[in-house]
Amino acid sequence: METLAGAEFAPEMTYLNTASSGLLPARTVAAMHTAVTRAAAGRPTDMFADVEASRASFARLAGVPAARVAAGASVAVYCGLIAGSLPAGAEVLAAEGEFSSLVTPFVVRGDLKVRFVPLEALAESVRPGTALVAVSAVQSADGRMADLAAIRTAARAHGARTLVDASQSVGWLPLDATQDDFTVAVAFKWLCCPRGVGFLVVPEGLGGVTPVLAGWVAGEEPWASCYGPVAELAHSARRFDESPSLFSYAGARHSLALIEELGPAEIGRHDIALADRFRAGLDRIGQRLIAAPGSAIVSAPGLGHRRDELSRAGVELSDRAGNLRAAFHLYNSPADVDRLLDALSG
């Protein structure tokens, strides 16, 4: 089995670091180059059309109408928006060791009760009075996967909302954002977009969130909303848009199109097969790993210190929380896995 989209990618090393940042497809690089060149020549294209194409593409990947998707750049910004909508004293439940962008906005409010429990105990820890459960579908540090079905069931039973960060899952793990109140994701990882692209999915009816970050792009008629307070906010989730990084979105639409063409289910089968090959290889050489079955991320505890050595050898991974973290994606092949195993055992 080779890579899924080899002609689109040309890494100069064995790149196994998608959980930090995905590689850009050739089509994306070409589109950004064109956009920058035209802007430099005073002939810019309509990059706001790229934003709308990206929004629509992400909406299809998330299984929701585009009217429920806000386009921005940052998980932290959108989590801050949700944090600002909670009443003082509300309880937010999250996993221990969760990625900081997801949980810090709730902590810095100062008047919310943020409670942390082990990831595996999230569902059973929802209780009366819990207002929101915030969790990553896949943990950044080690690839563990949340039991989202159990968490959702428990949240509904206690009248709590759910906020899922899909940054480490969307693109290889099929996403159904209809199952949660809020979904956030940056797109520069598994969606292979440039940095500066992120999305927020809100509920039907816009979720009772106040668009305190609204600028002119949040107007129902943006070009008629440039001066003075916006008279009419967008009737859709576009009221939560951040002012877009237009050159990034000029490329993002093409990255998202590639993910749609290949399909997250097919990408997931490819990625997980490579991860399982690596898990089996680690077992053969007697190396422990953090249990995360079915994940495209594999973390080996105690090996994080070897990251720089492996990088010098042409194998790019991450050191996260002391773990050597490998992330397998559509541009990787079995040969990449074997090269990593050879480097570790040699």
Domain ranges of the chain: 6-24+263-345, 32-261
CATH assignment, 6-24+263-345: 3.90.1150.10
Residues 217-260: pLDDT tens digits? Answer: 999 999 999 999 999 999 999 999 999 999 999 999 999 999 99
Confidence (pTM): 0.96
pLDDT score of 173: 98
The rounded mean pLDDT for the chain is 96
How far is the C-alpha of 77 from the C-alpha of 84, rounded, in Å? Answer: 11
Read off the pLDDT band of 1 (50, 70, 90): very low
Q: What is the pLDDT of residue 307?
A: 96
pLDDT at site 3: 87
**CATH code of the domain occupying 32-261:** 3.40.640.10
- More confident site: 172 or 346: 172
Q: Judge whether residue 4 has pLDDT over 90.
A: no
Which residues sit opposite 132 in a β-bridge? 92, 161
pLDDT of residue 321: 85
The yes-or-no verdict on residue 47 having pLDDT over 90 is yes
**pLDDT score of 44:** 84
Strand duo 69-72 + 198-201: pairing: antiparallel
139-185: per-residue pLDDT in tens?
999 999 999 999 999 999 999 999 999 999 999 999 999 999 999 99
Q: What is the pLDDT of residue 275?
A: 97
Half-sphere exposure of 323 (CA within 13 A, CB side): 21
